[in-house]
Chain A
Amino acid sequence: MALKHATPMLDELEKGPWPSFVSDVKRLAVKGNKMCEDWLGLMELSFQEKEGHWKHGGIVGVFGYGGGVIGRYCDRPDLFPNVAHFHTMRVNQPASKYYTSDILRKICDIWDAKGSGLTNMHGSTGDIVLLGTTTDQLEPIFYELTHDLKMDLGGSGSNLRSPEGCLGMSRCEWACINTQDIIYDLTQEFQDALHRPMFPYKFKFKSSGCPMDCVAAIARADCSIIGTWRDDIRIDQDAVSAYIGGEIVPHGGAGGARKDFDIKAEVIDLCPTKCMEVNGKTLKIYNEDCVRCMHCIRVMPRALRPGLDTGATILMGAKAPILEGAQLSSVIIPFIKMESPYTEFKEYVEKVWDWWMENGKNRERLGETIQRLSLREFLKAVELEPDPRMVNTPRYNPYIFYDPAGVPGGWDHDAVEYRKRHQA
């Protein structure tokens, strides 16, 4: 069946080695999906003219919610009437994205019937993104999602965004915290912030079970909750010997069956703080110098494991480059136990939000507010003491003064009086 619009430029995107979204959309279009037909035509026009034809934003939504629906309109409804309205709906994903196939089918059934059938699994925040529906379908879709599927809309706009976590303890032996429980708990606790916008801009929680940080919380989240441990790395010296002797393949076999493992070159010399040494076939770790990079654990997973006194490090302020450049999050709470019901953590979050709401400029992420007003002011607001672990490279810059009130005599001095005592 011929497509309604010729798409020579889009067709080029089907020729590469990778799966093509153009082929996916065409597959729906040839089945008679009119939204997909016009979507292809609109995209082709944009490619030819090198101009976008989507209008930005709108007032559409579902009753009582300030997020989860993003109004999208096409500025050439005369040419492409079936995508004149093409709103996005964000659906809050289950913790760690565990679905049954039955639920996925039901979501797709709803979207085939009431939307374009196009989905994005998942958006970078983690939501299921349902692309393209009309205003009159928003409330019926919301009703079916909430009543039949027991699912809710996710965050958008100046809201708390849908919290996201790694697989955590459900699949991973290195998880130091229960990321699924944390994400579910925070989602339930902060429902109001998720659905009713109040912040200067978006706010994201992301939780990774260990410092490997599989959800890249440190690069993306305004508040990263990253599992760690504060005792010693557990060592099985017999397994260390077996790795050195070539009886166990390093990297869990990811590099193939090898017999040439060199513990000095591949582990000891790559430790960022040089906190390890090996004598013969015995490994020694100076844990006080360990920065939890987990490289050694990744290479020799049967010999080394995270400690048993586990909790989380809380980092704040990551963001992608929009107003300022990209920013990684900074350590604010070096260690917190993170045990249900997470009361201490939630109280801390409330203080953070109070300060950010009062001090943040419009469209300013938390990390930018901290950068503008200083870490010192932020720490005062959240009632935390400064700590060298909050400084990126403390050993390179020993001249760190957090607050003049904390320095005897402050930063000001009387030059005349000084000269009286130092006349030469």
Chain B
Amino acid sequence: MYEEAKDKIIEYVKQQKKSKLYFNDLCKAVPEIKMMQAKKVVNELITEGKLKYWSSGSTTMYMLPSEGDVAKEEEGMN
């Protein structure tokens, strides 16, 4: 489901200069669908491991996973 929308979101994220994006930013990649629908698409991308959550505790953002990203974060590199 939503394969086309998923591809558009991933492409959009790859094109951005910032490594972390808000949910609203992801939705700009798929303006043709409502945000509630977009949420389901993003959830599938998370489940498939194609996107990752980043949370400050108060706000959540999304980023592309990279190899060893948890280890990098723990070493203070992310």
Q: Which of B23, B36, B78 contacts A158 (CB 8 A)?
A: B23
Task: Indicate with 1 or 0, residue by residue over A344-375, a CB within 8 angstroms of chain B CB atoms.
Answer: 00000000011001101111000000000000
A59 on interface, CB distance cutoff 8 Å: yes
Q: A357 to B53, Cβ gap below 8 A?
A: no
- Excluding A88-B57, A157-B60, A198-B35, 9 further A-B contacts by CB distance (< 8 Å) are A59-B54, A60-B73, A66-B46, A66-B60, A158-B59, A196-B39, A353-B36, A354-B35, A357-B35
Taking CB atoms, residues of chain B closer than 8 Å to A56 are 56-57
| Given A64-B47, A198-B35, A362-B24, also A71-B55 (CB < 8 A) | yes
Q: Which of A61, A66, A85 contacts B74 (CB 8 A)?
A: A85
Task: Indicate with 1 or 0, residue by residue over A58-94, a CB within 8 angstroms of chain B CB atoms.
Answer: 1111001011011101010100000011001000000
Closest beta carbon of chain A to B31's beta carbon, Å: 11
Nearest CB to that of B21 among chain A residues?
Answer: A362
Q: B23 to A197, Cβ gap below 8 A?
A: yes
Q: A55 to B60, Cβ gap below 8 A?
A: no
A159 on interface, CB distance cutoff 8 Å: yes
Taking CB atoms, residues of chain B closer than 8 Å to A84 are 74
CA distance A67 to B54 in the complex (A): 10
Best-buried of A55, A71, A197, A361 by chain B (most CB within 10 Å): A197
| Given A59-B69, A61-B53, A357-B35, also A158-B74 (CB < 8 A) | no
Interface class of chain A by DSSP: loop
Taking CB atoms, residues of chain B closer than 8 Å to A196 are 39, 43, 46
Q: B70 to A157, Cβ gap below 8 A?
A: no
Interface Cβ pair total, 8 Å cutoff: 97
CA distance A357 to B38 in the complex (A): 11
B22 on interface, CB distance cutoff 8 Å: yes
Taking CB atoms, residues of chain B closer than 8 Å to A243 are none
| Given A357-B36, A358-B35, also A201-B73 (CB < 8 A) | no
Q: A197 to B53, Cβ gap below 8 A?
A: yes
A126 on interface, CB distance cutoff 8 Å: no
Taking CB atoms, residues of chain A closer than 8 Å to B57 are 56-57, 70, 88, 156-157
| Given A73-B73, A158-B23, also A58-B55 (CB < 8 A) | yes
B63 on interface, CB distance cutoff 8 Å: yes
Nearest CB to that of A360 among chain B residues?
Answer: B24
A202 on interface, CB distance cutoff 8 Å: yes
| Given A55-B76, A361-B24, also A157-B56 (CB < 8 A) | yes
Task: Indicate with 1 or 0, residue by residue over B36-73, a CB within 8 angstroms of chain A CB atoms.
Answer: 10010011001100001111111110010000011001
| Given A66-B60, A196-B39, A197-B60, also A57-B55 (CB < 8 A) | yes
A135 on interface, CB distance cutoff 8 Å: yes
CA distance A363 to B58 in the complex (A): 9
Q: A59 to B70, Cβ gap below 8 A?
A: yes
CA distance A117 to B42 in the complex (A): 35
Taking CB atoms, residues of chain A closer than 8 Å to B34 are 354, 358
Q: B55 to A157, Cβ gap below 8 A?
A: yes
Nearest CB to that of B47 among chain A residues?
Answer: A64
Taking CB atoms, residues of chain B closer than 8 Å to A357 are 35-36
CA distance A298 to B50 in the complex (A): 57
Closest beta carbon of chain A to B70's beta carbon, Å: 6
A317 on interface, CB distance cutoff 8 Å: no
Nearest CB to that of B52 among chain A residues?
Answer: A59
- What 3 A-B pairs come out closest when comparing CB atoms? A157-B60, A57-B56, A197-B60
A200 on interface, CB distance cutoff 8 Å: yes
Q: B56 to A59, Cβ gap below 8 A?
A: no
Q: Which of A70, A75, A156 contacts B76 (CB 8 A)?
A: A75
Task: Indicate with 1 or 0, residue by residue over A391-415, a CB within 8 angstroms of chain B CB atoms.
Answer: 0000000000000000000000000
Q: A158 to B60, Cβ gap below 8 A?
A: yes
| Given A157-B57, A157-B58, also A59-B22 (CB < 8 A) | no
